[in-house]
């Protein structure tokens, strides 16, 4: 789903050439029906199984965006000359990245390209987010994240995220505390990559994010188009990349490339 930071976040579900305003469907009964057809989001090839959020197997094997270093940025190998697609790597990995703290199911650390702020935070269902460092490459952001992971989580508990709004945190205080704990390791990174490669961000305010949710569920039941092609119920909210129905939730990003019809 496409999103725009507003009060609350505005969501659009793209279906072919059409975009559906999901906020306007809150508290309405709707049905999502999967036709059984899956097309690769990269090459358009029809495929029986989707990999890595919408790719066919050949694209999974050849695209840089499907390489394992995307999940583990500290393993970025662009500088070794072994990137699957050097041009793609230049545009996506050899660009400024932000290391941030977010409050989604609790405090976590994460990274994203500078151009993906605040989209990345919204996709994770964060209610608060604070950019704390700017670095010059994806590799540098991944190494810095690894240091912070010794003290704070790096993943969102999606079930907890979908059960409600987490307790508000003093994000600036958390940032100062974490940076102080990692001071010596950060100094070593500056020696490794160069003093100006890693910059502390100052004067940045915490971003507060509200989502279009009428009511959260006490028990989370997750839908899967591969097991049940029909998902229906009253839409209670949208958070992260999830649609929240009174009958359960579904991660729409997981089913990128699936041919789905929406009806009321």
Same domain? For 89 and 172 the reply is yes
Query: What's this model's pTM, rounded to 2 decimal places?
Result: 0.94
Token readout for 32 is 């999502």
Q: What local confidence, expressed as pLDDT, does residue 260 receive?
A: 96
Residues 97 and 170 in one domain: yes
Residues 2, 11: contact at Cβ < 8 Å? Answer: yes
In angstroms, rounded to a whole number, what is the distance separating the alpha carbons of residues 28 and 10? 17
**CA 202 remoteness from chain centre:** 24
Q: What is the pLDDT of residue 264?
A: 84
Domain count, the chain: 2
Q: Are residues 156 and 30 in the same domain?
A: no
Q: Does 225 lie in the same domain as 139?
A: no
Chosen domain end from 182, 208, 234? 208
Residue 264 contacts residue 238 (beta carbons within 8 Å): no
Shared domain for 199 and 113, answered yes or no, is yes
Give residue-wise pLDDT tens across range 139-166: 999 999 999 999 999 999 999 999 999 9
Q: Same domain, yes or no, for 191 and 232? A: no
Domain that holds residue 192: 57-208
pLDDT at 255: 96
Q: Is the same domain home to 82 and 180? A: yes
Overall average pLDDT of the 184-191 stretch = 96
Q: What angle do CA 63, 65, 70 make, to 5 degrees?
A: 130
Q: Which residues, at least 6 apart from 18, have a Cβ–Cβ distance to it below 8 Å? A: none
């Amino acid at each position: 789903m496409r999103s725009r930071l507003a009060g609350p976040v505005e969501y659009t579900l793209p279906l072919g050439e059409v975009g559906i305003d999901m906020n306007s469907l809150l508290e309405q009964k709707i049905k999502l029906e999967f036709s059984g057809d899956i097309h690769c989001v990269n090459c358009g090839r029809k495929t029986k199984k989707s990999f890595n959020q919408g790719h066919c197997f050949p694209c999974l094997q050849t695209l840089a965006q499907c390489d394992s270093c995307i999940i583990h940025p500290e393993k970025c190998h662009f500088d070794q000359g072994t990137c699957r697609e050097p041009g793609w790597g230049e545009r996506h990995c050899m660009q400024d990245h932000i290391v941030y703290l977010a409050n989604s199911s609790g405090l976590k650390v994460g990274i994203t390209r500078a151009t993906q702020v605040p989209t990345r935070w919204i996709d994770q269902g964060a209610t608060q987010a604070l950019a704390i460092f700017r670095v010059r490459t994806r590799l540098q952001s991944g190494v810095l994240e690894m240091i912070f992971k010794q003290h704070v989580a790096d993943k969102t508990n999606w079930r907890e995220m979908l059960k409600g709004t987490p307790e508000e945190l003093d994000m600036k205080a958390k940032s100062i505390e974490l940076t102080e704990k990692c001071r010596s390791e950060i100094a070593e990174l500056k020696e490794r990559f160069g003093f100006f490669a890693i910059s502390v961000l100052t004067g940045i305010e915490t971003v507060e994010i509200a989502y279009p949710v009428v009511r959260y569920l006490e028990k989370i039941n997750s839908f899967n188009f591969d097991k049940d092609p029909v998902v229906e119920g009253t839409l209670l909210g949208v958070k992260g990349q999830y649609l929240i129905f009174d009958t359960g939730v579904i991660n729409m990003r997981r089913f990128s490339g699936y041919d789905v019809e929406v009806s009321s």
